Amino acid sequence: MWVYRGNVRDDRPAVAYHRYCRTRNTDELKDFAKDFSGVIVSDGYASYHKLETDWPENITVAGC
């Protein structure tokens, strides 16, 4: 299950339950984040760092 949390507006948290996937493959994450630009705060999972490597002008990864 890919779950995302962020602030939408007025400092109200938003939670998105994207979908269940059989794997934690980076392609699943790329599909969801293709239009995202900003900072991703996450654990050290390699897929997030792969996004930063592939899209350095849009994505910055910060550890939790």
The pTM of this model reads 0.65
Q: For the chain, what's the residue count?
A: 64
Q: How confident is the model at residue 43, as a pLDDT? A: 83
Residue 53 lies in a domain: yes
* Mean pLDDT in order along the chain per 10 residues (64 residues): 73 77 82 84 84 88 80
Strand partners, 14: 6
Residue 60 placed within a domain = yes
Residue 22 near residue 2 (C-beta atoms within 8 A) = no
Predicted pLDDT at 45: 84
E strands, 1-64, in order: 2-9, 12-19, 38-42, 59-63
Q: Residue 54 falls within a domain, yes or no?
A: yes
Owning domain of residue 49:
24-64
